[in-house]
Chains A and B, each alone.
Chain A
Amino acid sequence: MAATARSKAELDEEFAELYRSHLRDVYSYAYYRVGNHHDAEDLTEQTFLQAYRHFERAQAESDGRPLRPWLIRIAHNLAANLYRDRSRRPQTPIDDTSGLSAVHTTEDLVEGRDELARILAGVKELPNDRREALIMRFALGMDNREIARALGKTDGATKVLLHRAIRQLEGIVGDEHTRS
């Protein structure tokens, strides 16, 4: 019993460390995924509660690899559920990324507001998997291997996915630039 209690305490401490290390990552992912702080908070909260529930098993199966991709994958699945639920109730706007500019500094807004707005609008137009890959790479700083684990793809497929996402975004932004 004492051994069980001790291991539970250790597990909780390790989970707390994971939580402290990756709260910002999960929140950033959630925010760019759902487009507003309210839903991002809910998504973050649910992600960590679900992570807590499965932490012991995930740790055992991780074989020492970082758990950040696993956390982001949970958030990814929960976000997909959120969209699915909302698509059944279309009165709630989905995929609203209009609030994204809220995270940028005054300097950003003054220096390149239009440019950043075009980039964000372009990201929004991308297919889900490409958009998510870009969020993971640029907002969270994840490498190809981490993104691959989070999306359940191979490293090679992820590299291609990122490449195509950037090329497509260039096309979108370029078209927009030409029109204006």
Chain B
Amino acid sequence: MSTPGADIETLLSRALQPVDPPDGLSSRLESTLVDLTEAAVVELESWELRAMRDPRNWVRPVVAVVVTATAGTALVILRVRAGQKRRVAVAHGPADLAARTAKAVAGEARRVIGR
């Protein structure tokens, strides 16, 4: 057994070995960034004003505008999506959910634009 003071740095090197990320993390993160950037462009191109009568359709085009217009790209969609389960859980019906989602989009968009 080694004495504590003698090779503490060697022990630290052994104790704090680099940790490989899980297999899926790398590809998931990479594809998230790529997908969200591409999705924003496609969404903007297919934006039909008629569909905007339905509040449920507000989220994606609004996000697409914001994402395409800024270098922040993926963040808005990702953050809005990240909070979607929570909003679904607390929303009182589809209209309330749409309102909460639109509010979240606006908040995230402000954060990205304000960078």
State the A residues within 8 Å of B (CB). Answer: 8, 11-12, 16, 19, 23-25, 27-28, 31-32, 37, 40-41, 44-45, 48-50, 52-54, 56, 100, 103-104, 108, 112, 115-116, 119-120, 123, 134-135, 137-141, 166, 169-170, 173-174, 177
Report whether B11 and A116 are in contact in the complex, using a CB–CB cutoff of 8 Å.
yes
B17 (CB) vs chain A CBs: closest residue: A103
Shortest A164–chain B CB gap in Å is: 13
What's the Cα separation between A25 and B20 when bound, in Å?
9
Tell me if B49 is interfacial: C-beta within 8 Å of chain A.
Answer: no
What's the Cα separation between A169 and B15 when bound, in Å?
13
What's the Cα separation between A12 and B3 when bound, in Å?
49
The 5 A-B pairs at the shortest CB distance, nearest first, are namely A27-B21, A139-B16, A119-B15, A138-B16, A173-B4
Stretch of B51-59, B73-81, B85-93, B97-105 on the interface side:
B73-81
**Of B14, B26, B71, B115, which one neighbours A23 at CB under 8 angstroms?**
B26
Can you list 17 contacts pairing A with B, beta carbon distance less than 8 Å? A11-B71, A12-B37, A16-B30, A19-B30, A23-B21, A23-B29, A27-B20, A48-B33, A49-B74, A52-B73, A52-B74, A52-B75, A123-B12, A139-B17, A140-B18, A174-B4, A177-B3
What's the Cα separation between A12 and B33 when bound, in Å?
10
Q: A19-B29, A115-B2, A137-B12 are in contact. List 17 more A-B contacts (CB 8 A).
A: A23-B25, A23-B29, A27-B20, A28-B19, A32-B16, A32-B19, A41-B22, A45-B28, A50-B75, A53-B75, A103-B19, A120-B15, A123-B16, A138-B16, A139-B17, A139-B18, A173-B8
Report whether A170 and B5 are in contact in the complex, using a CB–CB cutoff of 8 Å.
yes
Query: For A140, what are the chain B residues with a Cβ–Cβ distance below 8 Å?
Result: 18
Report whether B11 and A54 are in contact in the complex, using a CB–CB cutoff of 8 Å.
no
Shortest B26–chain A CB gap in Å is: 6
Query: For B12, what are the chain A residues with a Cβ–Cβ distance below 8 Å?
Result: 119, 123, 134, 137-138, 166, 169
Query: For B2, what are the chain A residues with a Cβ–Cβ distance below 8 Å?
Result: 115
- The SS class assigned to the B binding surface is helix
- The SS class assigned to the A binding surface is helix
Query: For A41, what are the chain B residues with a Cβ–Cβ distance below 8 Å?
Result: 21-22, 25
Tell me if B13 is interfacial: C-beta within 8 Å of chain A.
Answer: yes
Tell me if B112 is interfacial: C-beta within 8 Å of chain A.
Answer: yes
Query: For A173, what are the chain B residues with a Cβ–Cβ distance below 8 Å?
Result: 4, 8
What's the Cα separation between A140 and B75 when bound, in Å?
27
Query: For B15, what are the chain A residues with a Cβ–Cβ distance below 8 Å?
Result: 100, 104, 116, 119-120, 123, 138
